[in-house]
Structure 1
Amino acid sequence: MGNITKGAITPTPDSNPFIYSLSSSRQKGFKPLQAKLYEAIMKNDSTNIKALLAHQPVNEPMTVWDNAARRRPLSIQDQSILPIHLAAKYRREKSLCCLLESGADPKIRDNRGYTALQLLLLHWPKMYITGTDILTRPQKNLATTQRNAEECLRILCEKGVQTDPEMDRDYKHSSLHLALYSGASQAISILIENGANIDDRNEFGKTALHIAAEHLNKEITETLITYGANINCTLPTSGKTALQLAVCTASSKAGRVLAADIDCIRLLLMNGAEVNAQDCEGRAAIHNACLGGRKEIVELLLDYHADANTLTRHGQSPLFLFLQNRSNLRCTSLLNKLLSFSYPLKLTNNRGDLPTGLLFPEFQMQKDFLIRLSQIIWSLQDICKVTVRRIYGEKNKQCLKKQLPVTVWNSLYNYQDYSQL
Structure 2
Amino acid sequence: MPIKTLQVRVRDRHAALLSRMAFEVNQVWNLANEASYEAWHVPVPEVGYIQGVWRSAFDIQKDILPIRKARGFILPSHTVQQVVAEHAARRRQFKTSKLRWRASSGSRRALGWIPFKKGSAKWVNGQVRFAGHYFRVWDSYGLADYEFRAGSFVQDARGRWYFSVSVEYQPNATPSRKAVGVDLGLKDTATCSDGAKLKAGRFYRDLEDALGKAQRTNKAQRVRAIHAKIRNRRKDAIHKFTTHLAERYGVIFVGDVSSAKLVKTKMAKSVLDAGWHQLKTQLKYKAIARSGVFEEVNEAYSTQVCSCCGAKPDSSPKGRAGLGIRHWICSECGAEHDRDINAALNILAAGGIPVSMEESSPFRASEDVKQKIEGVQAL
TM-score (norm 1): 0.21
Which is higher, the Rg of structure 1 or of structure 2? Answer: 1
More strand, by proportion: 2
Structure number with greater CO (CA < 8 Å, separation at least 6) is 2
TM-score (norm 2): 0.22
